[in-house]
Structure 1
Amino acid sequence: MLFNSIEFAIFLPIVFLLYWFIFNKSIFFQNFLLLVVSYIFYGWWDWRFLSLIIFSSLVDYFIGIKLSKTGNQRRRKLLLTASLLVNLGFLGFFKYFNFFVDSFVEAFTLFGSSFEPTRLSVILPVGISFYTFQTMSYTIDVYKGKLQPTRDIIAFFAFVSFFPQLVAGPIERAKNLLPQFSEKRRFEYDKAVDGLRQILWGLFKKMIIADNCAVVVDEIFFNYAEYSGSTLLMGALFFSFQIYGDFSGYSDIAIGTARLFGFSLMQNFAFPYFSRDMAEFWRRWHISLSTWFRDYLYIPLGGSRGSMWAKIRNIFIIFIVSGFWHGANWTFIVWGGLNALYFLPLSLLNKNRTNLDIVAKGKYLPTIREAFNMGLTFGLTVLAWVFFRAESVTHAFAYMGGMFSDSLLSYPEIVIKNLILLLGAFTLIEWFGREGQYAFANVSLLRPRPLRWFVYFFVIGLLFYFKANQPQPFVYFQF
């Protein structure tokens, strides 16, 4: 069920009314309702994949309880290993089986051998990369003694399958989200209004920014050989806005929807395109995944401690694994490796934590140096996105070659003035709202009230006027 679909527009208010007016007698009933509607929401794509999320939830629920009952370190390690094998086993089979088979064949071909292996017609379950990481963080934290396991099976299953963030995050930590299923929730008008406001902004990002960019991006990337370098550059720029509007838009809708039901989810994007270096960018882009890899992979490997070679190794591991998490394609691995190269000098020079505050905080404009650094960081990010979007590494290099050809300074063949104006307005709104949790939050400060309502209805009108002819699926559903 897509957030930007008619089905969800019907589904959400029905669940909201049931939750606050029918099932509000106890936490148990509310949690049970959330569990049922989350399974309906997830099963809307393919009900067969419900068995995977149910089995994964069962395994981690019972392993969590078993971990609390034994102090034997060997047995505890075996229990944790079992949890990781189940979760990573599902993820590896459905997402990476054919990738490894194809890579194995290509490696043999290089040595003059050839054979036809068996490939499977595997359908990737929606959201599997997100909920497997969420459940793994639970068992890891229980194993480390950072979290007490829950015995409330309904609350735990609802935590794993919580429909607002089930399909594309944020990837919540159990210590943040799970306790909220045990707390009494009371309807708060201001929180609900703020949630609706963030949902509206998320829909704007998705339906107006991302979906309209997607139409142009698909045309340019699919037919890159026919266009000039300036047009290819425009395609890369539009994809940068598409991926940001699409993914951060989903996160905004998820966070706002959760707020309607009395839950607080972590901020997943913090205006990353206003970053002054790549380290800041990765503190602001897909925060839930970046911090997950930091806490469960980078730090256990030694982080920035140890020798210079250990630091380099750890940086490449975390970025390449992050790239591989995104998909079974060498393009994502190259994308991760390229970002590692971007990040490496900052880490080795101990400048990776230089820009921790909000750029130009309390000011209307950045300094010349800040503007230059933001432009440079954005430019490097745009180049990396070419590999993320390309169908293959060969496609990416061919696209880059065409982009940096003599025609780079020519007038683009594709110029969509309305879209460019929309992107400019969008960037300004994001800039002036960069000190909030999301850019549209500042609308709550508008006075008088009729002015706020005018802005809301104006944005709703834009959604209908500028929506793409064909609704686009969220990009991160494929991950």
Structure 2
Amino acid sequence: MLFSSISFLYYFLPLVLISFFVAPKKYKNIILLIFSLFFYFYGEGKLTIVLILSCTINYFIAILIDRNNKESKRKFWLVIGLIVNLSLLIYFKYFNFFLENINHLLNVNIAYLNVVMPLGISFFTFQALSYLVDVYRKEVKADLNIINLTTYITLFPQLVAGPIVRYQTIKKELINKDISYENISYGINRFIIGLSKKVLLANNLGLLVSLLKETPDSTLSMWLISISFTLQIYFDFSGYSDMAIGLGRIFGFKFLENFNYPYISKSITDFWKRWHISLSSFLKDYVYIPLGGNRCSKSRWIFNIVTVWFLTGFWHGAQWNFILWGLYFAIILLVEKFFIKDFIENKKIINHIYVMFLVIISFTIFNGESLIEVFNNLKLMFSFNGNLYTLESIYYLKSFSIILIISVISSTPIIKNIINKINDKYNKSIIINIIFIVGIMILFIITTAYLIDSTFNPFLYFRF
């Protein structure tokens, strides 16, 4: 069930909101848990058992870690927890990938397993892992209330596409939710803004990508595909994160931000402080720092960087293009650190061109179905011997020019800054507040109307 679907907006969401706010305080987590499991079951059916199994296993392992005072026993149960969680992830997401490569390398024909990947397994597995590690580190106590812990892992706003929420971030809110008019109002506004980013911008950009892929090859069409996809994936994923954060706030949870205008970054290092922040933070705290971080020899630090970015790419999917995508960023970050850090500092225009060029190339790699397709696409982008453009590519560029311009502007804080200045100047103006409320309502109506009329409504990050 997509957030950007009529069934969610007009059936599921009103029902869960009514049930949640009518229910007494002590039953609110039960309500959220029931609806979260139904939300997952609606799309995944019998695979819901994998989610329930993950919650149950992690509940008991965390208690076993917490109740043991001996370091050896605590570490033993942590290792068991890591093995169980990673085994589930590897089996459902990566098993056939490994078989495919074994078959190719050894020239054998081992039959593939009929494995269907549970939706959001990368996200809820990482949340469970962070919980176990935090219990082991004594940063949090094991939650003895299985309803609370299962609610944390299965909470539908962030269940299938993040952001990756740590237990310590919302542990207090699992018991005492901060439900107020301000939070509900903020949550509704944030949700509608995220919905509009997804439906009005990401969907149209995705449509442009699909249409261009059906046209004859040309340099212009390939650049348009890459630029459009770069914008699409941002509005798709950040729009979902906005909706998740908004829904969380309505239900009394404060999820951390997941995006901070990454396309205004001054370097690739800065880009990854702004893009998918919850994943970057997870890998930093649970992989990079335990490996030694940057407090080690230069060769060890390079190893740590390459390892983290290999895992970043592999986390996104069981395809070689994702691994290449991760290693691509590892190389760029190393080059920035050792060779061009001083050159790119305090050069705003050069910085921006440099970052966006590399990011567009990165999402060309990301968007490929295979390494052969990736290299063919890159070759086409930088080939000036063949077709530079086609009539179709010119036609679609003109047809979608307004969407592209709006998307570029919306990927920067320009609109946000204008709204903030108006708020600062007319903070207590009833008329301005009414205009904002009416504007949000109109935005929701337009978005809903577009949803009803359109059949193109994918969510890119659901496949991860």
Same fold (TM over 0.5): yes
Measured after TM superposition, the shift of residue 428 of structure 1 is 2.6
Deviations 1:309-344 (A, max 9, x none): 111111111111100000000000000011111111
Q: Residue 409 of structure 2 aligns to which amino acid in structure 1?
A: L
Alignment of 1:229-240 (within 5 A): 229-240=219-230
Give secondary structure in 2 for the equivalent of 1:77. Answer: helix
Q: Which residue of 1 aligns with 2:294?
A: 304
Deviations 1:127-170 (A, max 9, x none): 00000000100000111111111111111110010010000001
Distance 1:79 1:443, change over 3 A: farther
Q: Distance in 1 between matches of 2:172 and 2:349?
A: 42
2:52 aligned with 1:54: yes
Alignment of 1:86-235 (within 5 A): 86-108=84-106, 114-183=107-176, 185=177, 187-221=179-213, 223=214, 226-235=216-225
Q: Distance in 2 between matches of 1:325 and 1:116?
A: 26
More helix, by proportion: 2
2:321–2:366 Cα contact (<8 Å) kept: yes
Q: Which residue of 2 aligns with 1:282?
A: 272
2:349 aligned with 1:371: yes
Q: Distance in 2 between matches of 1:60 and 1:441?
A: 43
Measured after TM superposition, the shift of residue 472 of structure 1 is 2.2
Q: Distance in 2 between matches of 1:460 and 1:443?
A: 21
Q: TM-score, normalised by structure 1?
A: 0.89
Deviates more, 1:186-195 or 1:255-264: 186-195
Q: Which residue of 1 aligns with 2:401?
A: 420
> RMSD of the TM alignment (CA)?
2.3
Q: Distance in 2 between matches of 1:443 and 1:240?
A: 30
Q: Residue 273 of structure 1 aligns to which amino acid in structure 2?
A: Y
Q: Distance in 1 between matches of 2:270 and 2:357?
A: 14
Measured after TM superposition, the shift of residue 116 of structure 1 is 1.5
Query: Number of aligned pairs?
Result: 453
Q: Distance in 2 between matches of 1:36 and 1:392?
A: 40
1:198–1:256 Cα contact (<8 Å) kept: yes
Distance 1:309 1:267, change over 3 A: same
2:236 aligned with 1:246: yes
2:454 aligned with 1:476: no
Distance 1:194 1:404, change over 3 A: same
Deviates more, 1:439-448 or 1:134-143: 439-448
Q: TM-score, normalised by structure 2?
A: 0.92
Deviations 1:395-419 (A, max 9, x none): 0000111111115864744434453
Q: Which residue of 1 aligns with 2:74?
A: 76
Q: Which residue of 2 aligns with 1:405?
A: 383
Q: Residue 447 of structure 2 aligns to which amino acid in structure 1?
A: L
Q: Distance in 1 between matches of 2:136 and 2:183?
A: 35
Task: Provide the identity percentage.
Answer: 33
Deviates more, 1:399-408 or 1:97-106: 399-408
1:134–1:173 Cα contact (<8 Å) kept: yes
Q: Distance in 2 between matches of 1:4 and 1:297?
A: 34
2:231–2:407 Cα contact (<8 Å) kept: no
Q: Residue 179 of structure 1 aligns to which amino acid in structure 2?
A: K
1:31–1:154 Cα contact (<8 Å) kept: yes
Q: Distance in 2 between matches of 1:304 and 1:102?
A: 36
Q: Residue 370 of structure 2 aligns to which amino acid in structure 1?
A: S
Deviates more, 1:4-13 or 1:268-277: 4-13
Measured after TM superposition, the shift of residue 101 of structure 1 is 0.4
2:263–2:412 Cα contact (<8 Å) kept: no
Q: Residue 178 of structure 1 aligns to which amino acid in structure 2?
A: K
1:197–1:440 Cα contact (<8 Å) kept: no
* Gap runs ≥5 in structure 2: none
Q: Distance in 1 between matches of 2:442 and 2:403?
A: 14
Q: Distance in 2 between matches of 1:443 and 1:124?
A: 47
